[in-house]
Amino acid sequence: MTLLFKVDDARAHDWKSLFQTHAPDIEVRLWPDIGDPAQIQFFASWQPPADLHVQFPNLQVVFATSAGVDQFDLSALPEHIEVVRMLDPGIAQGIVEYVCFAVLSLHREIPLYLDQQRQHHWQTRPLIPARQRRVGVMGLGNLGIAALQSLRPFGFDLSGWARSEKHIEGVRCFAGDQQLIPFLNQCDLLICLLPLTADTRGILNAKTFAALPHGARLINLGRGGHLVESDLLDALATGQIEQAILDVLNDEPPSQNHPYWDHPRIWLTPHIGAMTSPDSAFKLLLENIRRHQRGEPMQGAIARDVGY
Ligand code: GLV
């Protein structure tokens, strides 16, 4: 049983020592020391090479070390190779922290007050109660649900939108294409936590922004590919969107002359919303390998036809 990791050096060694301690029957190899490629059955990575199944002819499972699997070219991978996304509780915790930081910053007008500080200007705005802020989450998978649950104690007016119908306590749920516009119509703060698929690519576009209440705020924690970058600039210019907080971009890092770097109403962070930690994710990865060995379904195995 051989598992190959292609991850950053620091985490690679953590993964390896966890397997050596708790599952010595599984041989762990670290990229680029792949040894005999025919012995690799399991592959774990965030940034995979393109021709995985050609390089590793006996590959059975690809484990993404990320919540998203959009970096894998699913159409190029033969059907018998299973692809599993990472349901690390550490990722959910990271997303919850980021969502709380971003929602509370926007709710409490922190971008405006930081601008005022730079101008030596001391002026208050009325404090809007959380129950009057309508916060909507696009994407109601494990991360969207965790985000909504973390916002509940503050008393925000919460809603969510997903491809299929969902029921979440304390959250107005909207589903499918037909309910997208009604959902957007009532989002003062919109958070994107969707998976990136052919259906969701470019979903944060001019039409979406036009359906939001004037002066809405945007938080993108999904993928850069969800956002049509020039449409956001236009929506910020007219005030349709008042402020955006973006953790993901199409090109990471963006080019030095990218207009977002210096935009006064965009906050950028370098894709740090959440990161898989071997400590919190090891148990689940090992359990999935054991399930695979027993011929049982793995947690986070993706459905090829929907892409998540
Ligand atoms: C990070 O973006 C992830 O998908 O885990």
pLDDT recorded at residue 42: 98
* CA-angle at 94, arms to 105 and 101, nearest 5°: 5
Give the Cα separation of 61 and 43 in Å (integer).
6
Which atom of ligand 1 lies nearest, measured to the CA of 223? 2
How far is it, in rounded angstroms, from Cα 15 to Cα 21? 10
> Which residue out of 83, 95, 142, 275 has the highest number of ligand 1 atoms within 8 Å of its CB and is therefore the one to mutate?
275
Q: How many CB atoms lie within 10 A of CB 210?
A: 14
DSSP of 91-156, one letter per residue?
A: HHHHHHHHHHHHHHHHHTTHHHHHHHHHTT-----PPPPGGG-EEEEE--SHHHHHHHHHHGGGT-
C-alpha span between 230 and 185 (Å, rounded): 21
Domain boundaries of the chain, sorted by first residue: 2-88+276-294, 90-268
Give per-residue pLDDT as tens, 198-250.
Answer: 999 999 999 999 999 999 999 999 999 999 999 999 999 999 999 999 999 99
Q: With contact defined as beta carbons under 8 Å apart, do 179 and 103 qualify?
A: no
**Intrachain domains 2-88+276-294 and 90-268 with the same fold:** yes
- CATH assignment, 2-88+276-294: 3.40.50.720
Ligand 1 pocket (Cβ < 6 Å) reads: 66-68, 91, 274
- Containing H/E element for 8? none
90-268: CATH architecture: 3-Layer(aba) Sandwich (3.40)
First to last CA, the chain: 26
Q: Give me the helices (H) in the chain, please.
A: 9-22, 52-55, 89-107, 110-118, 142-151, 180-185, 206-211, 229-238, 278-294
Residues present in the chain in total: 308
Residue closest by Cα to atom 5 of ligand 1 = 66
Which residue's C-alpha comes closest to atom 1 of ligand 1?
A: 66
Position in ligand 1 atom list of the atom nearest CA 68: 4
- Please identify, by atom number, the ligand 1 atom nearest to the C-alpha of residue 86: 5
| Residue in the block written with tokens 């104690």 | 153
- Give me the amino acid identity at 52: L
Residue pair 306/118 in contact (Cβ under 8 Å)? The answer is no
User: 252 CA to middle of ligand 1, Å?
Assistant: 13
Distance between Cα 98 and ligand 1 center (Å): 13
pTM for this prediction: 0.94
Measured in Å, residue 221 CA sits from the centre of ligand 1 at: 9
The CA 132 to ligand 1 mean position distance, Å, reads 31
Question: What pLDDT score was predicted for residue 304?
Answer: 86
List C-alpha distances in Å: 82 to 19, 22, 42, 50, 55: 21, 24, 10, 16, 16
Q: Which residues are catalytic?
A: 223, 271
CA distances from 20 to 34, 184, 285, 298 (A): 17, 49, 14, 22
Q: What angle do CA 196, 50, 2 make, to 5 degrees?
A: 105
Tell me the best of 11, 91, 247 to mutate to test the pocket of ligand 1, counting ligand atoms within 8 Å of each CB and taking the most. Answer: 91
Cα 189 to middle of ligand 1, angstroms: 22
- Which atom number of ligand 1 is nearest to the Cα of residue 88? 5
Rounded-to-10 torsion of CA 112, 117, 118, 120: 130
Note down pLDDT in tens along the chain; length 308 residues. 999 999 999 999 999 999 999 999 999 999 999 999 999 999 999 988 888 989 999 999 999 999 999 988 888 899 999 999 999 999 999 999 999 999 999 999 999 999 999 999 999 999 999 999 999 999 999 999 999 999 999 999 999 999 999 999 999 999 999 999 999 999 999 999 999 999 999 999 999 999 999 999 999 999 999 999 999 999 999 999 999 999 999 999 999 999 999 999 999 999 999 999 999 999 999 999 999 999 999 999 999 888 88
Residue 12, Cβ neighbours under 10 Å: how many? 18
Edge-to-edge order in the sheet of strand 216-220: 172-175, 157-162, 134-138, 189-192, 216-220, 241-246, 266-268
What whole-number distance in Å separates Cα of residue 162 and Cα of residue 54? Answer: 35
